[in-house]
A and B are shown apart, each in its own frame.
Chain A
């Protein structure tokens, strides 16, 4: 317990150092923040302007899509802030410059130090925008009045943070072997995020099934959203599948950290 407290405060201290370091480059920080905010804003504005012309997308109204889109964006950006140290470009830079060795030479848990090695505060404006989009969806979509609404939405966001965090950890771990694999991983990470920003039933069956059963992305927010909107689940899945769906996130994350340990052992075997 004392250890846990120490580690938590150490994490916060290292994060503080990270944030103060970013303050040393204020202009680039502000430009980064504006740039990343504009990307989300432009992407969403295009959707919001086009969608009403067609009266919706595959039977989904704008407000319903806002719910999916906002939740996915919110979770992804929060994940990006929290797991930035594991993001493949950052991690491979740590390995290349030797700061990864520096982590190994310090008597603090390795994962704690990697978590604390990047904290992209410049993404904060995007968090606010995503929360606003999700908030619009929540207040305007015809949600079924069920008691589990708040808990399920929270679980969906946490599940997505874990899921995409797991993909970041896997992508970062792969860089212990090769940097060539990073692009392939981005297809899953960024592709997966875009995919679950929209209702899955607009995709062809094979794509939807791949991202439901092979890569359990649909369980995270799509099934819970269907449940909250009072719609039936696809493939005749029982309604409890929507309730436990977000658990797919922590499972993926646990698997990712197991792979991470294999990667660190490989690193210590070859000393890249």
Chain B
């Protein structure tokens, strides 16, 4: 569905006034390649300014890259804009595609004409989405009067009325409460399963990723650092478990042979270890009297932070 080969994009910003103008270049995307088959949900992660939104802009046809080949369903996005965008849907968390002052239903009607959706298809989709996303209570409310969660649901429906093959989601759950997040995640999982819609999900909310994506792409400084299963990411980079120990009183020597000391304060220490917990626990209890112990599992958030911070895979495992 999506093929990206050796994608590069550099931005030039002018500095200073126009006579003494200097130029600074910033490589937003450096030699990024990946393929996404039809029907997959892929989480696209990276810190702010890593090159995520530049990639998404190129894939949606908003931006033309400096070099590299991109095809989406056989089309080059920026060369065949209208045919390309007719087959994709996009929801950007911070802004809406709905007509601000018009009732939601009117926006959805207008989109029927913009996308030239056959009336029967439009009607069937509207009924389905109204049901799944519970749009009924606010179909006749102007977009500007919707809550954030309602607006996001309406935007999701708007992006899918024309049966797109590909859906771009940018921070679809940002700012929502737990219940609203869950409803949106369920809906995305549903349309992916039932309609084989390919989904590229950029988000800072790792809950979205854990719930929806089997595969993640991690980008930082314009370079793709990781492309693979979430499970493999955990196994390869999240393997450090943590042992939190409360000693029975202050301990003069917190270092324990065979364990990595992460932090300590009088009477307390945190160690990192890999594999089973029995051996490290035995070593600690042999070292000094212990009142309490907890083993903390690595979470994906910590794993990804470690990748961003710790140059763990500049070379990359592809």
Contacts of A24 in B (CB 8 A): 101-102, 142
Instruction: Please provide the chain B residues from 92 to 108 with a CB less than 8 Å away from any CB of chain A in the complex.
Output: 92, 94-95, 97, 99-102, 106
Q: Does A140 contact B (CB under 8 A)?
A: no
Q: Does A132 contact B (CB under 8 A)?
A: no
Q: Does B19 contact A (CB under 8 A)?
A: no
Cβ-neighbour of B90 out of A21, A22, A105 (below 8 A) = A105
Q: Does B64 contact A (CB under 8 A)?
A: yes
Contacts of B142 in A (CB 8 A): 24
B63 adjacent to A268 (CB under 8 Å): yes
Distance from A180 Cβ to chain B, minimum over Cβ atoms (Å): 9
A17 adjacent to B85 (CB under 8 Å): no
A107 adjacent to B62 (CB under 8 Å): no
Closest to A21 in B: B101
A98 to B83: give the CA distance in the assembly, Å: 21
Distance from A7 Cβ to chain B, minimum over Cβ atoms (Å): 11
Contacts of B99 in A (CB 8 A): 17, 21
A107 to B77: give the CA distance in the assembly, Å: 12
B85 adjacent to A105 (CB under 8 Å): yes
A270 adjacent to B11 (CB under 8 Å): yes
Distance from B252 Cβ to chain A, minimum over Cβ atoms (Å): 59
Closest to A24 in B: B101
B82 adjacent to A107 (CB under 8 Å): yes
Contacts of B97 in A (CB 8 A): 102, 105
Closest to B142 in A: A24
Cβ-neighbour of B62 out of A21, A97, A101 (below 8 A) = A101
Binding stretch for chain B, among A8-16, A62-70, A163-171, A235-243: A8-16
Q: Does A20 contact B (CB under 8 A)?
A: yes
A6 to B11: give the CA distance in the assembly, Å: 38
Q: Does B114 contact A (CB under 8 A)?
A: yes
A17 adjacent to B110 (CB under 8 Å): yes
Q: Contacts A9-B113, A13-B113, A98-B95 given; indicate if A106 touches B101 (C-beta within 8 A).
A: no
B86 adjacent to A107 (CB under 8 Å): yes
Closest to A100 in B: B62
A152 to B85: give the CA distance in the assembly, Å: 44
Distance from A148 Cβ to chain B, minimum over Cβ atoms (Å): 41
A6 adjacent to B101 (CB under 8 Å): no
Distance from A262 Cβ to chain B, minimum over Cβ atoms (Å): 13
Q: Determine which residue in B62, B88, B115, B142 has the highest number of CB atoms from chain A within 10 A of its CB, and name it.
A: B62
A270 to B14: give the CA distance in the assembly, Å: 12
Distance from B262 Cβ to chain A, minimum over Cβ atoms (Å): 42
Count of chain B residues near A, Cβ 8 A: 31
Closest to B159 in A: A105
B102 adjacent to A20 (CB under 8 Å): yes
B95 adjacent to A97 (CB under 8 Å): yes
Closest to A106 in B: B114
Q: Does A108 contact B (CB under 8 A)?
A: yes
Closest to A20 in B: B102
Instruction: Please provide the chain A residues from 91 to 120 with a CB less than 8 Å away from any CB of chain B in the complex.
Output: 97-99, 101-102, 104-109
Cβ-neighbour of B60 out of A10, A14, A20, A105 (below 8 A) = A105
A265 to B88: give the CA distance in the assembly, Å: 21
Contacts of A109 in B (CB 8 A): 82
Distance from B279 Cβ to chain A, minimum over Cβ atoms (Å): 53
A21 to B81: give the CA distance in the assembly, Å: 28
Q: Contacts A21-B102, A24-B142, A270-B11 given; indicate if A13 touches B62 (C-beta within 8 A).
A: no
Q: Does B193 contact A (CB under 8 A)?
A: no
Contacts of B57 in A (CB 8 A): 271
Contacts of B114 in A (CB 8 A): 10, 106-108
Cβ-neighbour of A108 out of B11, B63, B82 (below 8 A) = B82
Q: Does B116 contact A (CB under 8 A)?
A: yes
A105 to B102: give the CA distance in the assembly, Å: 20
A104 adjacent to B11 (CB under 8 Å): no
A50 to B177: give the CA distance in the assembly, Å: 67
Closest to A271 in B: B63
A268 to B110: give the CA distance in the assembly, Å: 26
B64 adjacent to A268 (CB under 8 Å): yes
Q: Does B51 contact A (CB under 8 A)?
A: no
Q: Does A53 contact B (CB under 8 A)?
A: no
A104 to B110: give the CA distance in the assembly, Å: 16
Distance from A12 Cβ to chain B, minimum over Cβ atoms (Å): 10
Q: Determine which residue in B90, B94, B97 has the highest number of CB atoms from chain A within 10 A of its CB, and name it.
A: B97
What string of 1s and 0s marks CB contacts (under 8 Å) between B54-82 and chain A? 10010011111000000000000010011
Residues of B within 8 A of A (CB): 11, 54, 57, 60-64, 78, 81-83, 85-86, 88, 90, 92, 94-95, 97, 99-102, 106, 110, 113-116, 142
Top-5 shortest CB links A-B: A107-B86, A21-B101, A24-B101, A271-B63, A107-B82
Given A20-B106, A104-B85; 11 other pairs, CB 8 A cutoff: A6-B116, A14-B110, A17-B106, A22-B101, A24-B101, A101-B62, A102-B97, A106-B114, A108-B114, A265-B64, A271-B57
A-B contact pairs, 7 of them (CB 8 A): A20-B101, A20-B102, A24-B102, A105-B88, A105-B97, A269-B64, A271-B54
